[in-house]
Amino acid sequence: MKKALIDFNNEELSALYRLLSSRYDSFRAQNLKLNMARGKPSPEQLDLSEDVLNAVTDINNCYSRDGIDCRNYSDFYGLSELRELFSQILSVPFNNVLIGGNSSLTLMYDTISRAFLHGLANSPRPWSQEEKIKMLCPVPGYDRHYTICESFGIEMISIPLTGSGPDMDMVEELVAKDPLIKGIWIIPVYSNPTGDIYSNEVLFRLANMPAKANDFTIICDNAYPFHTLTGSFVKPICLFDMCCAAGNEDRPIFFASTSKISFAAGGVSCIAMSDSNFKKALPSLQAQFICMDKLNQLRHARVFSDLDAVKSRMLQHCELLSPKFDLVEKALDANLSSYGVASWNLPLGGYFISLKVMENTAKRIIGLCKDAGLILTSAGAGFPYSIDPHDCYIRLAPSYPSLEELNTATELLCISILLASIENILSFSD
Ligand SMILES: Cc1ncc(COP(=O)(O)O)c(C=O)c1O
């Protein structure tokens, strides 16, 4: 019967350390090349969308439902089929949806860039003319949001996630009094990496809270709306309706893509926002493109003809992904639970498991794994400025490796966690 590591005496700790070290050395000797760092779909997942590749094959079938020749310039907002689809995915009216290129991240960057250059619908002046811009960042969160902020010199304020969204008392208090807080990043469904699903109460409070900045913006990155790991789906969020009802229709700007529905590098993205935000954005958007890649839009429109088609593809992804998540969760449970040195979420969807280890051990664990051939997301990546204040969060991305690789990777990870935890406990008793 195992007991919590903290209850081991020094001799017991040293003995366990020696045993684990020799197992760790045997992993090191294998020259492993394992990677659980990024949320990449596996080749098998990408193969599911062969039908997308084959959907537009010759000069006679490159016309859209409305008879548009998708090879040519036209339709700045994108094909109506896809605008309809994303309008349903995001619960935003059809006219407020624009289809982008392959990456929603580009659209997010462009939105922030536009705010700096020209301002958003309700900005008194471009953000570049403010003394400083601050944004709220629920943590742990998505490192690329922070990279966008850093590239514009935006000051980031961490807000803890609670399991059903950010700590709203904190959000409301800050937003009500500071005019330089211009926005918040949210990933409302299966948040990266914690798996949070924002409750309706949280969404309602975000939509309704008073904000000192007139142009306070919810950057709603809905990257994983149907990315179930259980086979059941969450209802589309109705943040736009809530904001409209609160008289704050310009507050949310939505982003989504098919990166993890079809192809991570060859999907389609979208941005959705209010009429006034579009009006303000149009000169800048129209200066950038005549139309996006409609041939790729057509491929997607043919395969994903409605929400049911998206959902059935996501169930196929689920079949491939859920055994991987199960394997990792079971291995963590079997190897760690009784030692009391780590906890983790059991996500219902998305691409990540968020692991919480003893304070001051995450960097060491990630380093140990790296030295033995397992690359994990770098320490602190889930936090603004890459600083995890307690050095205790590790993001696991089980989607890409095979089951066999995951087995080895998780065993090595658990050994590394125990080694680092013992080192940490022994350092206190020195
Ligand atoms: C939360 C989140 N947003 C956006 C992206 C990237 O989206 P896209 O491929 O549409 O740029 C990812 C990819 O992992 C993500 O996790």
Give tens-digit pLDDT for 265-281: 999 999 999 999 999 99
Asked if residue 116 has pLDDT above 90, the reply is yes
Phi then psi for residue 392, to 5 deg, are: -135, 5
Q: Which fold is adopted by the domain 62-305?
A: Aspartate Aminotransferase; domain 2 (3.40.640)
Q: What is the pLDDT of residue 1?
A: 57
pLDDT of residue 197: 98
What is the CA 271 to chain-centroid distance, rounded?
Answer: 16
Class of the CATH domain delimited by 5-46+320-429: alpha beta
Which of 299, 180, 302, 192 is CA-nearest to residue 255?
Answer: 192
For the chain, the domains span 5-46+320-429, 62-305
Q: Is the beta carbon of 269 within 6 A of some atom in ligand 1?
A: yes
| Residue 173 CB partners (closer than 8 Å, separation 6+) | none
CA distance 57 to 429: 69
Q: Could you identify the atom of ligand 1 that is nearest to the CA of residue 106? A: 11
Query: Does 304 have pLDDT greater than 70?
Result: yes
Does ligand 1 have an atom closer than 6 angstroms to the CB of 13? no
Supply the pLDDT for residue 428.
Answer: 74
pLDDT digits (tens, 9 = 90+) for 387-413: 999 999 999 999 999 999 999 999 999
pLDDT in the model for residue 430: 61
Task: Look at residue 396 in the predicted model and tell me its pLDDT.
Answer: 98
Say whether pLDDT at 32 is over 80: yes
Chain-wide mean pLDDT for the chain?
97
117 phi and psi angles, rounded to 5 deg? -80, -40
Region of residue 195 (phi > 0: left; psi between -120 and 50: alpha; otherwise: beta): left
User: Alpha-carbon distance 351 to 38, whole Å?
Assistant: 9
Supply the residue whose CA is at minimum distance from atom 16 of ligand 1. Answer: 192
Residue type, 257: S
CB of 111 sitting under 6 A from ligand 1: no
Asked if 5-46+320-429 and 62-305 have one fold, the answer is no
> 304 in helix, strand or coil?
coil
For the Cβ of 105 lying below 6 angstroms from any atom of ligand 1, the answer is: yes
pLDDT at 25 over 90: yes
Distance 269 CA to ligand 1 centre (A): 10
In this prediction, residue 239 carries a pLDDT of 98
3-state secondary structure of 34: strand
| Contacts for 254 with CB less than 8 Å, ≥ 6 apart | 90, 92, 220, 222, 239, 240, 270, 271, 272, 273
Q: Is the pLDDT of residue 326 over 80?
A: yes
Give the pLDDT confidence score for residue 3 in this predicted structure.
Answer: 86
Radius of gyration of the chain (CA): 23
